[in-house]
Structure 1
Amino acid sequence: MRKAIIITLVVLISSFVMAQKPLFKVDTLSIELSDLSLHAVLTKPSNIDNPPVALIIAGSGPTDLNGNQPMMQNNSLKYLSDALVENQIATLRFDKRGIGKSVYPAFSEADLTIDRYAKDVRSIIEYLKEKQFANIYVIGHSEGSLIGLIALQDISVEGFVSVAGAGNSADVILKKQLKPKLSAEYFESVEIILDSLKNGHVVKNVPPQLNALFRASVQPYLISWFKYNPAELIKKINAPVLVVQGTKDIQVDDEEAQLLAGACNNCSLAEIENMNHILKTIEGGMQENIQSYSKPSLEINKVLVDTITAFIKNYSK
């Protein structure tokens, strides 16, 4: 009887220890570049050696490595990372230069271009290769898709995933987004500015009401952004590509995903029912969709996780 009690205690203690063993190994990194240190988080499953790794690139604006902005917390990219790690895929998330914990004293908005972001991504991929990751994937969300496409023009990875990425150049996207929201006269002013920036010309006399969007310090970035056509870039990617689009995305529509996926020979397209731009599941209408942008407790779409996991595991050696 006493022996049975001891065995039972050993089993209970072992179960408790196993339950307490962390599933993730999380390392906070400073990736040294020529002019700054990029803040990054590398998360790996604790029970597997040499897993594939997905580099996650956040979207536009002051979006940090968790998918959050100062006035908009949703944890979309953190949840994506956690879900992938649970599926035996390591992830590296990072704050882009000038954002979150990658702020640095010499930062100037006027010096920022999308090419600079892409160069940073190439440096991170080189860092991962130096760390002996055999299977590196890039996941670009929204504008992060374009940044990934630019970066991958001259560096190789095992695969690329575009999530809510555009197929048209950014000036075309902005026109599509703004036209329904503005009066004809107001939109005409916007269109003139966009066309000028598209042609590489700075606009000196921006109407005060448009200054937030077209202020002088952001125009160099817009000029660099508008010159790229994602559908042309994706043709040159020498790796399998997965294009993912949600049916409840109110920022990037299905037409963009179709254009992007149709532009390359090695692309597959996954359209995910009821997923919105920040990867959340929306069963209702516009109000629910908008509210989800500031609901950090709302989990991300499970089909998205399964789709990306299957893609990565299919091509990993």
Structure 2
Amino acid sequence: MIRHLATALLALAVGTTTPAAATPAPVPVADHEIVFTADGTTVYGTLRVPEHRAGHRLRAALLLPGSGPTDRDGNQPPRSAPDTLAQLADTLEGDGIATLRFDKYGTGRTGLGAYKDRPEELDYPAFVRQAQAAYRALRDQPETDPRALLVVGHSEGAMTGLLLGGTVHPRPAGLALLQPQAIRMLDLVTLQLKAQVTEAARQGQLTPEDQRTIDAAIDAAVTSLREQRPVDTTDLPPAIAQLFEAFQGTNARFVTSDDAVHPPDTAAALAPGTKVLLTCGTNDTQVPCFTTNALTTALRQAHAGRPGRVKLPGVDHLLHSAAHPNALAPPVLDALRRFTRR
């Protein structure tokens, strides 16, 4: 009798059990070509979506390139191909973070777009508006969580990211400012050029008098640009003269508008508590660590969140080191993990 009762209870239990819902198959990692519009220009980019569960919203980061004709991968073909942004996308994918990187004006499939026949009108605010449009495009992707958006900018892209942090909606949860342009553009150019002149004098290629003359000519050239007057290149070496000539004419409006931005002033617009990573490399000759001091102080005063400024030993401007000349250096990867840690 007990055996029959146990058998009946077992049959009842088996018959009334609801099978567990099957676990959805993971969606594999994929790159998608993304198209969005900024000021009448069709902009092309790549959305990298990590492996994830169907229907699950992901953290997502907008990647912003450095100065010059730097494309969505962080390259200036054919002379420079460090793949800076492509490598950042790979790294963030490993942390389950989707990324959008795009060809800014003058690069890749985007080209000059609406400015093709009027390149002299292309100014720095146009690049900021393009980045804002990219942020909205990333926000609206079905795979991304609009409450968990990040902005990761390199060099000039870091300054652009800082401006986005105080203007887009929703505000980003975090900003990674990698080797940022942290002072006015022409002040940074002056530092870079004078460092080159000093090194040339140290090597005996210039006399002390030559160095003083060239330094004074650099200062005069910057003053002329800021006052929108023609630059006198008489006392400048050919390479430096060529640079200042390039800053005039078609590029004058961009240079003036970029130089008008003082990055520490933009930090005040950030939402208090915004997570901020600011890196500087000890081998970065383009953006020395001391140039980030004022911005670091401004971020602290704006009550930005950690990790704050992180010095990267042995790392250059392209986020490489002597031991890792073609990949993101380990200190960069460590800093990014601190930034993306929940």
**2:238 maps to 1:203:** no
Distance 1:171 1:94, change over 3 A: same
Q: Which residue of 2 aligns with 1:78?
A: 86
Within 2, Cα distance between the matches of 1:241 and 1:229? Answer: 18
Pick which of 36-45 and 243-252 moved more: 243-252
**2:312 maps to 1:272:** yes
**2:79 maps to 1:69:** no
**Which deviations, in whole Å up to 9, do the C-alpha atoms of 1:2-43 show, x marking residues without a partner?**
xxxxxxxxxxxxxxxxxxx99521001111223211111000
Q: Tell me which amino acid in the other structure corresponds to 1:313.
A: R
Name the TM-score, length of structure 1 as normaliser.
0.81
C-alpha RMSD over aligned residues: 2.2
Q: Which residue of 2 aligns with 1:25?
A: 30
Q: Which residue of 2 aligns with 1:6?
A: none
Q: Which residue of 1 aligns with 2:7?
A: none
**2:203 maps to 1:168:** no
Distance 1:22 1:52, change over 3 A: closer
Match of 2:321 among 271, 281, 297: 281
Structure 1: segments with no counterpart, 5+ residues = 1-20, 293-297
**Aligned partners of 1:122 and 1:152 also within 8 Å:** no
Pairing 1:148-297 to 2, within 5 Å after superposition: 148-155=161-168, 156-182=171-197, 183-198=211-226, 201-207=227-233, 209=238, 210-213=241-244, 214-238=247-271, 239-265=274-300, 266-267=304-305, 268-283=308-323, 292=325
Aligned residue pairs: how many?
280
**Which deviations, in whole Å up to 9, do the C-alpha atoms of 1:107-126 show, x marking residues without a partner?**
24312211111111111112
**Aligned partners of 2:62 and 2:138 also within 8 Å:** no
**Aligned partners of 1:206 and 1:215 also within 8 Å:** no
Name the TM-score, length of structure 2 as normaliser.
0.76
| Identity of matched residues, % | 21
Pairing 1:112-131 to 2, within 5 Å after superposition: 112-131=122-141
**Which deviations, in whole Å up to 9, do the C-alpha atoms of 1:35-85 show, x marking residues without a partner?**
211111000112343211111100001111111112111112211111110
In our comparison, the structure showing a higher alpha carbon Rg is 2
Displacement of 1:195 in angstroms is 2.0
Provide the secondary structure at the position in 2 that maps to 1:118. Answer: helix
Structure 2: segments with no counterpart, 5+ residues = 1-25, 198-210
Within 1, Cα distance between the matches of 2:29 and 2:321? Answer: 25
